[in-house]
Amino acid sequence: MTRVFNFSAGPATLPEAVLQQAAAEMLDWQGRGMSVMEMSHRSDAFQSILQTTLHDFRDLLAIPSHYRILFMQGGAIAQNAIIPMNLVGRKAKPAIIDFIHTGYWSQRALEEAQKYGHVNIAASSQASHFTSLPALETWKLSSDAAYVHLCNNETIHGVEFQFDPDTRTHSGKVPLVADMSSNIFSRVINVSKYGVIFGSAQKNLGIAGLTFAIVREDLIGHALPSCPSAFNWKNVAESDSMFNTPPTFAIYMAGLVLQWLKQQGGVTAIESRNIAKASLLYNHLDASDFYNTSVAKNCRSRMNVPFFLKDPSLDDAFLTGATQRGLANLRGHRILGGMRASIYNAMPTEGVQALVDYLRDFEQSH
Ligand SMILES: *Cc1c(COP(=O)(O)O)cnc(C)c1O
């Protein structure tokens, strides 16, 4: 068996040690004679998995005690509706929802939020085709918005906020809601700058099926009467993420990923490694006349690196050669074309080095 270096944007590569452990425990989890998939979510065995996962989750991100960690289903795309359903009720109708419009995922979230309130685009980088981020000083935030939404890492456009914007100083007490689907656990964050941090698990936290929402306690309990019960954060919080049957195997996998992350030295250590991996790739792309990147240097994502061959007629040959070298899923998202290398926490440095070696060899032979 040979495993490839998988640059998929999501579902994405997992640490090999995690897959090994899941395989070893597949038929018999710790002497229970059954797999995690076959256990009752109310059993002691699963409860210990859930509690350990929540503990490590809180510990690794230093989440203060007045935030709840909710495990849900439906992905980040469902949260795009669940968030307004839980937050606009704090304001008179029609509630104002501020958006920082920085690419495909903030655009999708904004379209969904329009069903629940009046969306105000407080800042947008559309004029630059989403190759930059709007400077904080230019954001036109509403003082009485229900919340401000931003996408911390635009997985398709490859732009990332590598700091935690302090919107409280700009607009009083408007909570900042951040989609961190594709960069959670990749860098140290200051959770107290946010009202809500949410995302899907299948990029940096595990497998599809699990959604996380880190919610400040005072923002829980304001759901619209029409909000489905399973999507009401209050129900999820009060039942310890067991209002409905949780995605048990996905929670178990997230737990294994977080244990692996601890063994790597935690978020601080993985952040340094992520910076080194991203620099290795961007430096090579910058130094070459054969390849292009489009994103401004001060906001390049460390997780998702879109790049282009200057001669797009070579794209197919590039991808075929990459596959032959065991470098998989480099084709860019259809809306941008070109290539994209997703280099999440689980992508080893050797994978990025193998890509850089291939970039050099392909350039030389063409
Ligand atoms: C992948 C992704 C999503 C969508 O996740 P689903 O699990 O399909 O709902 C949303 N936002 C960002 C930033 C993503 O990377």
pLDDT at 170 over 60: no
Q: Are residues 270 and 215 in the same domain?
A: no
Q: What is the pLDDT of residue 226?
A: 96
Same domain, 167 and 316: no
Distance (Å, rounded) from C-alpha 142 to C-alpha 20? Answer: 50
Handedness of CA 262, 268, 274, 280 (dihedral sign): negative
One domain, residues 88 and 221: yes
Is 4 a member of any domain? no
> What is the pLDDT confidence band of residue 92, given thresholds at 50, 70 and 90?
confident
Picking from 210, 209, 180, the residue whose alpha carbon sits closest to that of residue 63 is: 180
State if residue 200 touches ligand 1 by the CB under 6 angstroms criterion.
yes
Identify the domain boundary among 203, 231, 263.
263
Q: How confident is the model at residue 172 (pLDDT cuts 50, 70, 90)?
A: low
Residue 350 lies in a domain: yes
Give the residue numbers spanning the domain of 202: 17-263
CA of 109 from ligand 1 middle (Å) equals 10
Same domain, 175 and 119: yes
Q: What is the pTM of this model?
A: 0.97
| Total number of domains constituting the chain | 2
Atom of ligand 1 nearest to the CA of 179: 13
User: Can 179 be counted among the known catalytic residues?
Assistant: yes
Q: Are residues 226 and 291 in the same domain?
A: no
Q: Express each pLDDT in 173-187 by its tens digit.
A: 799 999 999 999 999
The CATH number covering residue 302 comes to: 3.90.1150.10
Cβ proximity of 302 and 295 under 8 Å: no
Q: How far is the CA of 180 from the centre of ligand 1 (A)?
A: 9
Does the pLDDT of residue 169 top 80, yes or no?
A: no
Same domain, 89 and 54: yes
Render pLDDT for 232-270 as a digit per residue (tens, 0 to 9). 999 999 999 999 999 999 999 999 999 999 999 999 999
Which among 263, 281, 299 is the end of a domain? 263
- Helix, strand, or coil here: 323? helix
Residue 138 lies in a domain: yes
Q: Which pLDDT score is estimated for 325?
A: 96
Task: Indicate if 169 and 286 belong to the same structural domain.
Answer: no
Task: Indicate if 308 and 342 belong to the same structural domain.
Answer: yes
DSSP secondary structure string, 134-147?
Answer: --GGG----TT-SE
Of 71, 126, 80, 125, the residue nearest 255 (C-alpha): 71
pLDDT in tens, 3-38: 999 999 999 999 999 999 999 999 999 999 999 999
- Tell me, yes or no, whether 231 and 271 share the same domain: no
Marked catalytic residue, from 98, 179, 260, 277: 179
* DSSP state string for 151-168: ESEETTTTEE--S---TH
- The share of the chain scoring above pLDDT 90, in percent, equals 96
For residues 233 and 361, membership in a common domain is answered with no
Residue 7 lies in a domain: no
Q: Say whether both 113 and 257 belong to one domain.
A: yes
CATH number of the domain that residue 210 is part of: 3.40.640.10
126 lies in some domain: yes
Same domain, 230 and 121: yes
Whether 80 lines ligand 1, by a CB cut-off of 6 Å, is no
d(Cα 103, Cα 133) in Å, to the nearest integer?
9
In a domain, 45, yes or no: yes
Within a domain: 237: yes
Distance CA 296, CA 294 (A): 7
Per-residue model confidence as pLDDT tens digits over 293-334: 999 999 999 999 999 999 999 999 999 999 999 999 999 999
Q: Is the peptide bond before 228 cis (omega within 30 degrees of 0)?
A: no
164, 203, 233, 260: the catalytic one is 203
Q: Is residue 5 part of a domain?
A: no
- Residue 98 pairs with which residues in a beta bridge? 120, 148
Mean of all residue pLDDT scores within the chain: 96
Residues 101 and 139 sit within 8 Å (Cβ to Cβ): no
> How far is Cα 3 from Cα 119, in angstroms, rounded to an integer?
45
Which residue, 207, 239, 263, sits at the end of a domain? Answer: 263
User: Which residues, 6+ apart, have CB-to-CB distance to 59 below 8 Å?
Assistant: none
